[in-house]
Amino acid sequence: MRTALLLLGSSIALLAAGCANRVSSATSIGNDTYIMTAKAKPSPFGVSSALDMGTLIQEASASCTNRGLRFVLVDRQENPGSATKLGTGSVTFKCEK
């Protein structure tokens, strides 16, 4: 019984990790301004159209703060997707001193 619970817990953790969003690295578009994009990943139970915009903004912020700079959000766009299309999103931001 204990082994079965351990295997079940491990399986759930692997499935959850496999459903995370794919986030690009920060791409410079000039004047200390950058863009990052994300795309929801398909779920083993069907298409997951949800995109976690909060995680995308946190990763964009970390790209600035890791260099000792301040994150300033310029724009964000989100397409929630549908039952047959994955959700996508992007953030445009500046890294300021």
Per-residue tokens: 26: 């920060």
| CB-based contact 37:74 (threshold 8 Å) | no
Amino acid identity at 24: S
- The pTM of this model reads 0.68
Q: How many CA atoms lie within 13 A of 90 on its CB side?
A: 8
Structure confidence by residue, pLDDT tens digits, 44-92: 555 455 567 888 899 999 999 999 999 999 999 988 777 677 778 899 9
Structure confidence by residue, pLDDT tens digits, 31-57: 889 999 988 876 555 545 556 788 889
The runs of H, that is alpha helices, within the chain are 2-18, 53-65
What one-character DSSP code corresponds to residue 68? T
